[in-house]
Amino acid sequence: MNAPLPFDREALRRAAGEIVANVTELAARGWTPATSSNFSRRIDAQHAAITVSGRDKGRLTEDDIMVVDLEGQPVATDRKSSAETLLHTQLYKRFPEVGCILHTHSQNQTIASRLFAGAGHMRLDGYELLKAFSGNDTHEAEIVVPVLPNSQDMHTLAAQVDALLDRRPMWGYLIDGHGLYAWGTDMAEARRHLEAFEFLIGCELELRKLQR
């Protein structure tokens, strides 16, 4: 007889359905080109559902979702989880309230990451849409989006993210030449944050063009 699974199969099924439905819509916007991007959803205190590495996110199915523990190790499968699994599990480990993490590679996100890499951050202020970020109730706010140097070593990237989180709370960051990570307590909040980042980053890029 097979050993019992250490997570609830129904919780995985719900998370996988939610990931597939949302990622299909995000991919249709062109935010996940060429198999890029990865997505996860917490299923309990010790496990998260996450995309299998290298899958076409525009054609994702529930079979492309697997389970990892919060050390980033596969659970009850020999499939390989996202190459960036550690960037997900570090947030689940650190914040019990984080329930969903969305990573995309839109053109706006990638261009902005290059443009603001020198400064190390991008400032978003004066926009009504800043109220889309949980905890903000006015346009008279400022969100600083950090831009981290890219690395293929996830331990290096995760250490940079931890150092930033030690300084102040945030709902997302850019990686230079790479893309955006955004998160929230559940899929709806993470998606609202992702969409707000994408919209505001797009506004800043357009403003720069007009001001030239």
Ligand X SMILES: CSC[C@@H](O)[C@@H](O)C(=O)COP(=O)(O)O
Give the separation between CA 67 and CA 77, rounded to whole angstroms.
8
- Beta-bridged to residue 121, according to DSSP, are 146
| Location of structure tokens 């550690």 | 86
Segment near ligand X (CB under 6 A); pick from 78-86, 112-120, 121-129, 161-169: 78-86
Quick one: 103 or 193, whose CB is closer to ligand X?
Answer: 103
83 part of the interface to ligand X, by CB under 6 A: yes
121 is known to lie in a ligand binding site: no
Contact status: 54 vs ligand X (CB under 6 A): yes
Choose, by CB under 6 A, the member of 18, 20, 38, 173 that binds ligand X: 38
Order across the sheet with 65-69: list the strands.
Answer: 65-69, 47-51, 38-42, 100-104, 179-184, 172-175, 142-148, 121-125
Query: Between residues 70 and 154, which has the closer beta carbon with respect to ligand X?
Result: 154
Which of 1, 34, 45, 210 binds ligand X (CB under 6 A)? It is 34
84 counts as binding ligand X under rule CB under 6 A: yes
The smaller minimum CB distance to ligand X, of residues 84 and 189, is found at 84
Binding site for ligand X (CB under 6 A): 34-38, 51, 53-54, 82-84, 103
